[in-house]
């Protein structure tokens, strides 16, 4: 962590921040990390890194690290430090008592996209096999669950289609609802290289993101749409493709389901989807939309990259399907330089979804109602698995408030800070009879906990992360866990204390079990990962070394499936009381809720969240840069300092949520995606007024 001269040896591992999944050499002196150096052999980063990954590992040995298990009878009582054995026994006893009193469905478990594949696999196994229900979920619920739904419905697989390197073959690059220079910096550098070589850029985003300021940028188009109108925009683009005859008819005829295609074509060619008809909805001039559609459809290779500005909406899943429709109609699927590419926020969003952390899916996206898949797991695990989906995270909160859900195990996720409508979340957590929090720091969620189990950082454990390009990378232990246990060992102990036997001596054995039960991981092993460096799933007999580009010959569902994408305006409307729209995002030097980066030198570059306000909106409210502002929504109220700039449209304000005091999620509502309950973080109607210093 601290540069202390020449290292004695080094270990190659994977960054624990964003979904790029950069490989690093942890250079060691004894058992001390002295330096983190980007690894030249890393397939995702080729020796590059960003300010988060390279300089922000100090949190691993920060004084705030939890090192002692603790318990308490009630949340208004002081913590009592105990041994691991006492803490696990206490937690298991409470969970068992709750189930005896309130029933099998009264408890559940949440895992995190920051954990390894092996850890998330074990949490869902704990819930299904030891708790005896399907009440398991992951924080991907609140970011990319619509990607899972939308891509599975249209392309047959819940994953991005390309490698990052594929962007170097793209001629037109469409970035929708993403800010790669801040959120995926190493991929953004690659993307910028391609733009400097002459690729054309189309940005669809309410905010003028930094990618648009790339030096020596050639043709660049910005479609600054109103927050909440993504589906209207993608429909307008598709309408132009269809009505102007810009489709790849050979691709559609050969690779797509023609009944679905004809239904979609009839739908999308209706005049109500034209850019002219939708101009008043999106706020983007029709001519600009037509030009963008022609550029993408006319490209030799058109690639789409998207982020949470697509998924975190009430129509997140619809928008993902709209993007896939566009790629199918133009034949931009199944080769280098094209594709549909979700940019995953956290290091292991892809992996936590792959590992069966959703209440309706076993590992490998095998639905719990699939008798054959269930039978395979039942035979291996020696239990019966429910054939009905369990509770999603927001359902757990609602059930806790109504009194039917009483116990929760949370591994590596600060739900009190990161989930929307904080007051609702806190009410739910406060009503639990047993909340077990396993984390590296005393986070906001831990304030409501009865059991605290110290977590381990990525430097303290073995495992794998899967990045946004489906690349499984090894995480290698470089130092002993500060509290004595790796995270997967804690889950094993809890299962055993609950009477369900788990027996592993190394995470490689967990991966062997995953491979045994999950067809898309059938060929994955630590030995192969060590030999190849990394593997992009699927990896099985058909693709023994993995599959860099998906859908080259066919789709897992046979033919590409066009989906009907009716635009429905969000219920979160502006009015006289709440006249502005708030949208949220991230900044380069901080990572998500900041639990890690705030405990590093990165804090010096961003020590508070601010509210970006357009000069017009500032002027009519008498707001100057630096003023304190009260921000009120239908859900709550917070106070932030003003940053007046014109990166947003008039009528739209913007903030980040890296600091607990920001209150960003106090004001976001619990509107959510119709298919997956992913929260609509990106659209909140608010009023903004000057206030005196808080």
Contact between 52 and ligand SF4 (CB under 6 A)?
yes
Kindly tell me which residue out of 1, 7, 12, 22 binds ligand SF4, with binding defined by CB under 6 A: 22
Kindly tell me which residue out of 12, 17, 155, 438 binds ligand SF4, with binding defined by CB under 6 A: 17
Contact pattern from residue 314 through residue 333 relative to ligand SF4, giving x for each residue in contact according to CB under 6 A and a dash for the rest: --------------------
Q: How far is the CB of 16 from ligand SF4 (least distance, A)?
A: 8
Phi, psi at residue 633, to the nearest 5°?
A: -120, -175
> Among residue numbers 182 through 241, which ones bind ligand SF4 (CB under 6 A)?
184-186
Q: Which two tokens stand for residue 36?
A: 């983190």
List helix spans (H) across 110-257.
117-125, 145-155, 180-183, 185-196, 230-243, 249-255
Contact between 475 and ligand SF4 (CB under 6 A)?
no
Contact between 453 and ligand SF4 (CB under 6 A)?
no
Give the dihedral sign, CA 382/386/389/395.
Answer: negative
CA dist 480 and 61 (Å) reads 11
Contact between 351 and ligand SF4 (CB under 6 A)?
no
Q: How far is the CB of 47 from ligand SF4 (least distance, A)?
A: 11
Kindly tell me which residue out of 26, 50, 320, 547 binds ligand SF4, with binding defined by CB under 6 A: 50
Kindly tell me which residue out of 1, 7, 10, 18 binds ligand SF4, with binding defined by CB under 6 A: 18
Cβ-based nearer residue to ligand SF4, 17 or 296:
17
Q: How far is the CB of 351 from ligand SF4 (least distance, A)?
A: 14
- How would you class 482 by CB atoms within 10 Å of its CB: exposed for 0-12, middle for 13-18, buried for 19 or more? buried
**Site stretch for ligand SF4 (CB under 6 A), options 20-28, 355-363, 510-518, 617-625:** 20-28
Contact between 53 and ligand SF4 (CB under 6 A)?
yes
Q: How far is the CB of 22 from ligand SF4 (least distance, A)?
A: 3
> Among residue numbers 131 through 190, which ones bind ligand SF4 (CB under 6 A)?
184-186
CB 506 within 8 A of CB 517: no
**Site stretch for ligand SF4 (CB under 6 A), options 50-58, 63-71, 582-590, 663-671:** 50-58
CA dist 178 and 344 (Å) reads 10
Contact between 92 and ligand SF4 (CB under 6 A)?
no
- Residues in the interface with ligand SF4 (CB under 6 A) total 14
Give the dihedral sign, CA 596/602/607/610.
Answer: negative
CB 21 within 8 A of CB 53: no
CA 362 to chain centre: 19
CA dist 342 and 324 (Å) reads 11
Q: Which two tokens stand for residue 33?
A: 């990390």
Rounded to a whole number of angstroms, the CA Rg of the chain reads 24
CB 25 within 8 A of CB 9: no
Q: How far is the CB of 57 from ligand SF4 (least distance, A)?
A: 10
Closest residue by Cα to residue 146 from 326, 341, 311, 305: 311
Q: How far is the CB of 253 from ligand SF4 (least distance, A)?
A: 40
Q: Which two tokens stand for residue 663?
A: 């209150």
Kindly tell me which residue out of 7, 10, 12, 20 binds ligand SF4, with binding defined by CB under 6 A: 20
**Site stretch for ligand SF4 (CB under 6 A), options 45-53, 243-251, 392-400, 684-692:** 45-53
CB 377 within 8 A of CB 145: no
CA dist 67 and 485 (Å) reads 10
Cβ-based nearer residue to ligand SF4, 52 or 94:
52
Contact between 15 and ligand SF4 (CB under 6 A)?
yes
Query: Which residue lies nearest ligand SF4, judged by its C-beta?
Result: 53
Please count the CA atoms within 13 angstroms of the CA of 589 that sit on its side-chain side.
Answer: 14
Contact between 305 and ligand SF4 (CB under 6 A)?
no
Closest residue by Cα to residue 390 from 433, 415, 359, 349: 359
Kindly tell me which residue out of 1, 7, 12, 21 binds ligand SF4, with binding defined by CB under 6 A: 21
Cβ-based nearer residue to ligand SF4, 52 or 528:
52
CB 167 within 8 A of CB 303: yes
CA dist 562 and 543 (Å) reads 27
Q: How far is the CB of 466 from ligand SF4 (least distance, A)?
A: 13
**Site stretch for ligand SF4 (CB under 6 A), options 43-51, 642-650, 669-677, 682-690:** 43-51
CB 345 within 8 A of CB 144: yes
Q: Which residues bind ligand SF4 (CB under 6 A)?
A: 15, 17-18, 20-22, 45, 49-50, 52-53, 184-186
């Amino acid at each position: 962590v601290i540069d202390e001269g020449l290292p004695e040896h080094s270990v190659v591992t994977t960054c624990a921040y964003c979904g790029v999944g950069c490989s690093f050499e942890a250079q060691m002196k004894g058992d001390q990390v002295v330096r983190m150096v980007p690894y030249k052999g890393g397939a995702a980063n080729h020796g590059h890194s960003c300010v988060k990954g390279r300089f922000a590992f100090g949190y691993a040995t920060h004084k705030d690290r939890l090192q002692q298990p603790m318990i308490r009878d009630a949340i208004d009582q002081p913590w009592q430090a105990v041994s691991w054995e006492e803490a696990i026994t206490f937690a298991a006893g409470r969970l068992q008592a709750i189930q005896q009193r309130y029933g099998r469905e009264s408890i559940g478990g949440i895992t995190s996209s920051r954990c390894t594949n092996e850890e998330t696999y074990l949490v869902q196994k704990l819930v299904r096999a030891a708790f005896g229900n399907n009440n398991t979920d992951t924080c991907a619920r609140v970011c990319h669950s619509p990607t899972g739904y939308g891509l599975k419905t249209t392309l047959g697989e819940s994953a991005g289609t390309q490698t990052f390197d594929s962007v170097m073959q793209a001629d037109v690059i469409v970035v929708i609802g993403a800010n790669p220079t801040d959120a995926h910096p190493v991929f953004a550098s690659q993307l910028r290289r391609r733009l400097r070589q002459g690729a054309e850029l189309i940005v669809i985003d309410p905010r003028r993101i930094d990618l648009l300021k790339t030096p020596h940028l050639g043709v660049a188009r910005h479609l600054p749409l109103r927050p909440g109108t993504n589906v209207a925009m993608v429909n307008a683009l598709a309408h132009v493709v269809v009505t102007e005859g810009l489709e790849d008819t050979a691709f559609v005829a050969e690779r797509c389901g023609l009944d679905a295609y004809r239904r979609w074509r009839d739908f999308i060619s209706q005049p109500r989807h034209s850019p002219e008809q939708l101009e008043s909805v999106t706020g983007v001039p029709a001519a600009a939309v037509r030009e963008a559609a022609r550029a993408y459809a006319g490209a030799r290779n058109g690639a789409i990259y998207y982020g949470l500005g697509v998924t975190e909406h009430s129509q997140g899943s619809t928008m993902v399907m709209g993007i896939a429709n566009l790629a199918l109609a133009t034949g931009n699927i199944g080769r280098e330089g094209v594709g549909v590419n979700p940019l995953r926020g956290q290091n292991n969003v892809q992996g936590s979804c792959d590992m069966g952390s959703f209440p309706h899916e076993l590992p490998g996206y095998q639905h719990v109602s699939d008798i054959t898949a269930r039978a395979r797991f039942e035979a291996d695990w020696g239990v019966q698995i429910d054939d009905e989906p369990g509770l999603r995270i927001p359902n757990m909160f609602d059930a806790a408030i109504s009194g039917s859900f009483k116990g929760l195990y949370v591994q590596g996720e600060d739900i009190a800070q990161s989930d929307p409508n904080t007051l609702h979340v806190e009410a739910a957590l406060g009503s639990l009879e047993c909340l077990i929090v396993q984390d590296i720091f005393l986070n906001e969620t831990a304030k409501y906990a009865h059991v605290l189990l110290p977590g381990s950082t990525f430097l303290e454990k073995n495992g794998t992360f899967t990045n946004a390009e489906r690349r499984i990378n090894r995480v290698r232990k470089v130092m002993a866990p500060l509290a004595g246990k790796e995270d997967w060992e804690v889950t094993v102990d809890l299962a055993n204390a609950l009477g369900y036997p788990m027996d592993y001596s190394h995470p490689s054995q967990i991966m062997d079990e995953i491979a045994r039960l999950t067809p898309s991981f059938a060929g994955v092993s630590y030995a192969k990962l060590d030999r190849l460096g990394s593997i992009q799933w699927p990896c099985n007999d058909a693709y023994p070394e993995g599959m860099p580009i998906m859908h080259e010959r066919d789709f897992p569902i046979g033919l590409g499936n066009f989906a009907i994408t009716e635009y429905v305006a969000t219920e979160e409307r502006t009015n006289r009381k709440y006249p502005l729209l708030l949208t949220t995002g991230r900044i380069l030097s901080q990572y998500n809720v900041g639990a890690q980066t705030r405990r590093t030198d990165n804090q010096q570059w961003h020590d508070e969240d601010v509210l970006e306000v357009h000069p017009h909106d500032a002027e009519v409210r008498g707001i100057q840069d630096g003023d304190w502002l009260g921000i009120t929504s239908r859900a709550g109220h917070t106070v932030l300092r003003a940053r007046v700039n014109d990166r947003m449209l008039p009528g739209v304000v913007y903030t980040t949520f890296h600091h607990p005091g920001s209150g960003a999620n106090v004001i976001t509502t619990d509107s959510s995606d119709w298919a997956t309950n992913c929260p609509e973080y990106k659209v909140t109607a608010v009023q903004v007024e000057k206030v005196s210093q808080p």
